[in-house]
Amino acid sequence: MVVKKVVKEKETKKVPKEKSTLSKKPSTEKKVKPKKVKEAKEKKPQSSPKETKPKKVKKEVTKKEIVKKEVPKKDITKEIIQDITKEINLDKKKEELKKDDSKKEESKIEKSKRNDSRIEEFKKDDFKIDDSKMEESKSDDSKIKESKKEEFKIKEPKKEELKKEEPLKVEDKKVEDKKSEEIIGKQSQINIGMIGHVDHGKTSLTRAISAKWCDTHSEEMKRGISIRLGYADVTFYKLDTSNGIVYSNKPEYQGQKAKVISKRNVSFVDAPGHETLMTTMLSGAALMNGAVLVIAANEMCPQPRTIEHLMALKFAGVEHIVVAQNKVDLITKEQAIENYKSIRQFLDDYGYTKAPIIPTAATFNVNIDSLIEAIETNIPTPKFDEDKPLKMYIARSFDINKPGTPPKNLKGAIIGGSITQGKIAIGDLIELNPGLKGKTLIKVESVSTSSGLVKEAHAGGLIAIGTDLDPSVAQNDQLRGQIASKPGVIPLPVKELKINYNMFERMLNQDSKQQSKNTGSSEVNDSTQKIVIKVTEPLVMTVGTNTVIGFVTKIDAKTITLNLKNEAIAEKGERVAISKNINGQWRLVAYGEII
């Protein structure tokens, strides 16, 4: 009896434990569980073998738990099945829509076929077509008449369109003419020289105006001076703004677009100012239609090359100039006014009384708009005769092929300069004078400006021409001084020149002051020095862009005869610059005309 009581007590104790496993597990019961398990383990050896019953209860409890866990799985499968059925229904609907669309298309095709067949029947019975003209039939059916009227309403505008095609062709020609005008517009209309004494800021001012630095040669970059003629193109705009009329090198004012009244494309020729490069400047003067004379405000005026460059413009016939009083940022207001007065006196002495003087500071782009306004209002675009045969002065020549280029990819020689009369186009056959060991015929393969390739070029701005000539002949400006023309137009080259000449009165005040500084003497010779040309003396003749050495054979008060070292093209009435060697330097001393 004692044993049965003990067993009953154990069962009564174990059953609540099993129920606790099925119930929710609160956080407080986790600490109690280990103690109960220990008590059960301690009481196991006292129990009898009939203690297997609670184990069976445990197994039933685990099955119930499994059943409870499997319930959500059935819900998931239902959701998946529902999704699949939805997709299937969607696919069915799409297929049905496709079938409906195909049926509609078939019905449309059938309707169009029916309409076509009806139209053909009408044409066979009621219409006769002769050269796109239609005649009405004599049928009495009102329906057919109505159909005819509708067809005529449709076809009459087609006839009007055919009639309008002819004037459209004329409009196309106008469009082509406009395109050609746009192409011509890309080429500059005028050449303006940038001249003055060395280191007065000509190249810096060119960059301030055109945003291009002209000294690109390696030797120029090393020495810091211009050695060859530099070129830069720019477009000037006349703008209507809230502050009135403004001139600029951009179609905008204070960062905003403005109304453009007019514009002009301009080419600048940057001439070197060094005394040893005077002949290069003289060859560039032949291309100039106007000039900007740059004078530094921090130096005395005039300097030697300032005088010579102004005299070169005079002999070249350049009447319209603008003076830029540069580097005003380096002096005071009083000094700038004194320098202005000396520049005004210098211009009046040489006959340029109407030339405006504009103060500028090229390094800071100060007053550039005023300089552009002075250029636009004082240097007009010259008129060229394009009906005359081609004549082009060559000022530069070069080879554009890089080392290692295969022979098949080599490009011909490039010649650069300006046309003084006539036109030139791709495919033209031109002649070089005096040429390479005689007149040389070459073919024009390309024509280009700073803005890109063009089909045709006219007189005015600077251009470059690609030729079929051997590129080695054009290296390092070897073709400078040649004249490109229509074959048979330019006269034969000569080796003797006869010139009516006029001597320049050279002002050597600045030279004498520099000599006095070097010698330490305080006396300055303010008188002008008279230059004398002697027989057998060598002189440098600048004819167009060509420079040639000649020896004096005869001379009198008005004429001079020279024997040239090399042949040169000399046309009657052409202007010539004469330079003489003075103290080891070639100085401009006279100018004249070929007889």
- Residues β-bridged to residue 529: 506
Tally of CB atoms within 10 A around 357: 17
Q: Are 414 and 466 in contact (CB under 8 A)?
A: yes
Mean pLDDT of the 249-257 span: 88
In this predicted structure, what is the pLDDT of residue 181? Answer: 42
Is the model more confident about 118 or about 96?
A: 96
Distance between CA 328 and CA 322 in Å, rounded? 17
Task: Report d(CA 235, CA 265) in Å as an integer.
Answer: 4
Selection from 168, 271, 159, 186 nearest residue 542 by Cα: 271
Cβ-contact 328, 336 below 8 angstroms: yes
Nearby residues of 503 by Cβ (< 8 Å), 6 or more positions away: 531, 589, 590
Structure tokens at 534: 């002697």
| Residue 583 binned pLDDT confidence (cut-offs 50, 70, 90) | confident
- Is the whole-model pTM more than 0.75? no
Token pair 């007053």: residue: 367
Taking the C-alpha atoms of residue 533 and residue 503, their distance in angstroms, rounded to an integer, is 10
**pLDDT value for 497:** 92
Taking only the tens place, the pLDDT of each residue in 272-297 is: 877 767 778 888 888 899 999 999 99
Contact status, residue 569 vs residue 485, Cβ threshold 8 Å: no
Helix (H, G, I), strand (E, B), or coil: what is residue 302?
Answer: coil
How far apart, in Å, are the Cα atoms of 73 and each of 60, 64, 68, 404?
Answer: 21, 15, 10, 79
% of the chain with per-residue pLDDT over 90 = 36
- Separation between Cα atoms, residue 412 and residue 257, nearest integer Å: 42
CB 269 within 8 A of CB 460: no
pLDDT band at 230 (very low <50, low <70, confident <90, very high): confident
Tell me how far apart the alpha carbons of residues 169 and 70 are, in angstroms, rounded to a whole number: 85
Q: pLDDT value at position 63?
A: 43
Give the pair of three-digit tokens for residue 67: 């059943």
- For the chain, domains (ranges, CATH) are 126-186 (no CATH), 188-378 (3.40.50.300), 396-480 (2.40.30.10), 494-594 (2.40.30.10)
Q: What is the pLDDT of residues 39-77, one digit of tens each?
A: 444 444 444 444 444 444 444 444 444 444 444 444 454
- pLDDT over 70, % of the chain: 63
Give the β-pairing of 256-257 and 252-253.
antiparallel
For strand 357-359 and strand 321-326, is the pairing parallel, antiparallel, or unpaired?
A: parallel
DSSP 132-155: TEE-------HHHHHHHHHHHHHH
Look up residue 572 and give its two tokens: 């009657």
| Cβ neighbours of residue 511 closer than 8 Å, sequence gap 6 or more | 304
The answer to whether the beta carbons of residues 293 and 195 sit under 8 Å apart is yes
Nearest to 421 by CA among 393, 394, 459: 459
Cα separation, 18 vs 58, whole angstroms = 7
